[in-house]
Amino acid sequence: MSELTLAQRFEAVQARIHAACARAGRNVSSVQLIAVSKRQPLEALREAYALGQRHFGENYAQELRDKHAALSDLPGLRWHAIGPLQVKNAKYVAQAAHVFHALENVEVAQALNRRRTHDALRCLVEVNVAGEGSKAGLSPDALPAFLAQAANWPALTVVGLMAMPPLSDDAEASRPHFRAVATLAKQHGLTELSMGSTFDFEVAIEEGATWVRVGTALFGERLR
């Protein structure tokens, strides 16, 4: 079988999103595709942009900084910082990102708040509903206190929750975790849900995801 082109991959992912929305009785406009572009060459991002993709997700702050500068000629491009962040690198996310998906640390929040100089940075709080010791994210019990502190960060606006369920060979195994995150968001009046990746984004959409983070299904294996 010949290698699929990016255009073919993009079309296939869009078809999967449409089908998942139809199963869930949702309007496809309620789901935003984030093309996870970490370690992908600039040419691939430009090609995706030419296909109509505008939202790109980067895991590493320095890579986000560099790509933001290199692709500054593309109007309407939106950067999502989706990986864990150290305080020393908060300046890069504060300057380049439109949305930060992994807020879970007070010191990082304070650094972002100091460094953000334009419109408020939209943030999603990362939650660890499965209680995995190897993963970042707040426990559900810690979420209320963290959200209460958000009033101290006027340059940040918390709009939703982000989660990464435990790795599994079965996409259905992610469903109860996605459902728990959706319930938690509703309890706290948060409307955005960043959940689902190449393997399980259809299940995430069925459980209410508004942003899905898809990399491999769009770009293929990333560069090392």
Are the CB atoms for 211 and 17 separated by under 8 Å?
A: no
Q: Which of 140, 145, 101, 104 is nearest to 123 (CA)?
A: 101
**Is 208 inside a domain boundary?**
yes
In the numeric block, the tokens 């929305």 are attached to 21
Query: Is there a domain that residue 97 lies in?
Result: yes
pLDDT in tens, 154-187: 999 999 999 998 888 899 999 999 999 999 999 9
State the Rg of the chain over Cα: 17
Per-residue pLDDT of the chain in tens (224 residues, 90 and over written 9): 348 899 999 999 999 999 999 999 999 999 999 999 999 999 999 999 999 999 999 999 999 999 999 999 999 999 999 999 999 999 999 999 999 999 999 999 999 999 999 899 999 999 998 766 667 789 999 999 999 999 899 999 999 999 998 888 899 999 999 999 999 999 999 999 999 999 999 999 999 999 999 999 999 876 54
Q: Report the number of distinct structural domains present in the chain.
A: 1
* Residue 220 falls inside a structural domain: no
Contacts of 178 (CB under 8 A, 6+ apart): 163, 165, 193, 195, 196, 200, 203, 204, 207, 208, 209
- In total, the chain counts a number of residues equal to 224
According to the model, what pLDDT value does residue 136 have?
79
Give the C-alpha separation, 143 to 59, whole Å: 23
Judged by DSSP in three states, 4 sits in coil
Structural domain range at position 148: 6-215
Task: Please provide residue 99's backbone torsions phi and psi, each rounded to the nearest 5 degrees.
Answer: -140, 140
Check which CATH number belongs to the domain holding 85 and give it: 3.20.20.10
